[in-house]
Each structure stands twice: as C-alpha cells, then as structure tokens.
Amino acid sequence: MSGEVVKSFLTPTAGPWGLTFDGKYLWHSVGAAEAIYQLDLDGAVIRSFATPGVKPRGLAFDGKYLWAAAYTADRIYQLDLDGAVINSFATPAGTPRGLTFDGKYLWLVLGQAERIYQLDLDGTVIKFFASPGVTPTGITFDGKYLWHSDSVADRIYQLDLDGAVIKFFASPAGTPRGLAFDGKYLWHADAAADRIYQIAR
C-alpha cells in the first residue's frame, strides 16, 4: 500500500533535509550541521563532509557526481564524492529545496516561488510548473514519474512530468522533506521525527 513504512532509522543529527540514492548507499544533507552524510541502508554513517554552501537542502546523484542545493547561497553545486566542488550555478529564484536527476536533467524545488523547475546541467531552465502545495520540499524520480513532498500539507505526491497530480498519501511522521528512490521503494527524510523512512510507492 502506498506510504506503508518498510523500515526507518534515526538521522545522524537533527534537522534532516536532502536525500538521494547512488545505487548502493544513501546520501543525506543536514542543514543545521551543514554536512552531507553517506549512509548504508540501515542508517550507519560511512563518511561525511562539509557542504560548500550554507544550509544544504536537496541532493541528487547523476551516476558519477552529487548535486547539492544550498538554501542561503541560492546555488546548486556539483560535487565529487569527497565533497570537492566541480561546478556551481545560481538557481532560477530563491530558497532552493528538493533536487533530483532524471538521467538527463535536474529537477529543482523552489520554496519561495512554489514551483518545480526542470534544468539542464548548466542551470538553464527547460520548463517549470506550480507545486501542488504551498510548502514544497523534496523531490525524486522513479524512471517515469516525479515524487514530491510538501511539509505543511504533510503529503507525498506522485506527479507526471508536467506537474499533474496522479495520487498522494500522508507522510509517516508529519514534516516530509528529502525523497529518494532505490529502484523499488521511496526513502523519505522527516524533520518532525528526525528519521529516514523506507516506504512503498
């Protein structure tokens, strides 16, 4: 059943935000700690490094590099897996939050604009649409659809690539933020519980 919790574990520190999956491990950003953590699927920390911008939010993985959205800097950083900056560009508007990669493009959630943007890897806007809720946070891609969280609505939405809502369900704990997809399940970071949940789509 959609939204059913498979398992969960505590985040390394309070205030979880971004989440992405690299095919084996989760990568997780924490704004208060200004750090990115590599985690195994039981939540054990493998390593961590400081983020290049203040208040990291969304994370994406493109098969080789991490991409990190920095809330205060209004920038997206391309990072190697040791945290070194490869490139960066300004976001289309302020307060970047969720971030994901669809195999070709980045998808970025902007809180201030209440929009979801499709960007090329240089930051050029391909298209955008309004988010279904007023406090958009996380986003991930499952190979066909986008999945998107809103922390005030306490919902996780399934969207087509034009932003139409296919379905939604309540998050497990109440303040959904980062989302990732592992090929079968969604992973979701929740700030109310300071936990990461593995959940059914």
Question: pLDDT band for position 41 (50/70/90)?
Answer: very high
Taking the alpha carbons of 126, 189, 36, 41 in that order, is the dihedral positive or negative?
Answer: negative
Q: Phi and psi of 33, rounded to 5°?
A: -85, -15
Average pLDDT, the chain: 96
Q: In what order do the strands lie in the sheet with 85-90?
A: 56-61, 66-70, 75-79, 85-90
Range 16-196: architecture per CATH: 7 Propeller (2.130)
The yes-or-no verdict on residue 54 having pLDDT over 80 is no
The yes-or-no verdict on residue 145 having pLDDT over 80 is yes
- Straight-line distance from the first to the last Cα atom of the chain, in angstroms, rounded to the nearest whole number: 7
Q: Is 69 left (phi over 0), alpha (psi -120 to 50) or beta?
A: beta
Give me the residue spans of the domains in the chain.
16-196
Mean pLDDT of all residues in 65-70:
97
Mean pLDDT of all residues in 28-47:
95
| CA distance linking residue 100 with residue 67, whole number of Å | 8
Q: Estimate the share of the chain in helix, then strand, then coil, as percent rounded to the nearest 5.
A: 0, 55, 45
pLDDT tens sequence across 76-134: 999 999 999 999 999 999 999 999 999 999 999 999 899 999 999 999 999 999 999 99
Mean pLDDT of all residues in 16-39:
95
Computed over its alpha carbons, how large is the radius of gyration of the chain? 15
pLDDT tens sequence across 167-183: 999 999 999 999 999 99
Mean pLDDT of all residues in 52-67:
94
Indicate the DSSP class of residue 119. Answer: E
Asked if residues 148 and 154 have their Cβ atoms less than 8 Å apart, the reply is no
| CA distance linking residue 84 with residue 77, whole number of Å | 10
pLDDT at 32: 83
Question: pLDDT band for position 5 (50/70/90)?
Answer: very high
Q: What is the DSSP string of 140-179?
A: EE-SS-EEEEETTTTEEEEE-TT--EEEEEE-SSS-EEEE
Work out the angle at residue 79's Cα, subtended by the Cα atoms of residues 82 and 67, and round it to the nearest 5 degrees.
130
